[in-house]
């Protein structure tokens, strides 16, 4: 699930935190391109959330991107 780094690069974003489990990744980041919707998290600003989940049943990888955070279960 390294391709999230390409999203960060293209969004001029810095990773603030991440949670990685088998078939699941959630990344909180701060993007210089996004000027609104900042939140404080771990004493840092975040405004970008990337969620990636692989479904073995469907053999699909779902990618969710939201600002400031993803508000659905993924």
68 CB neighbour count, 10 Å cutoff: 19
Structure tokens belonging to residue 71: 């508000």
* pLDDT for the residue numbered 42: 86
* β-strands 44-46, 60-66 pairing: unpaired
pLDDT in tens, 22-42: 999 999 999 999 988 899 998
Residue that wins the pLDDT comparison between 3 and 14: 14
Residue 55 has pLDDT above 90, yes or no: yes
């Amino acid at each position: 699930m390294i391709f999230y780094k390409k999203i960060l690069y293209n969004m001029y974003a810095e990773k603030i935190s991440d949670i990685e489990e088998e078939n699941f990744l959630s990344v909180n980041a701060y993007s210089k391109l996004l000027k609104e919707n900042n939140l404080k998290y771990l004493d840092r600003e975040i405004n970008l959330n990337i969620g990636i989940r692989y479904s073995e049943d469907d053999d699909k990888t779902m990618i969710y991107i939201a600002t400031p955070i993803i508000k659905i279960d993924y």
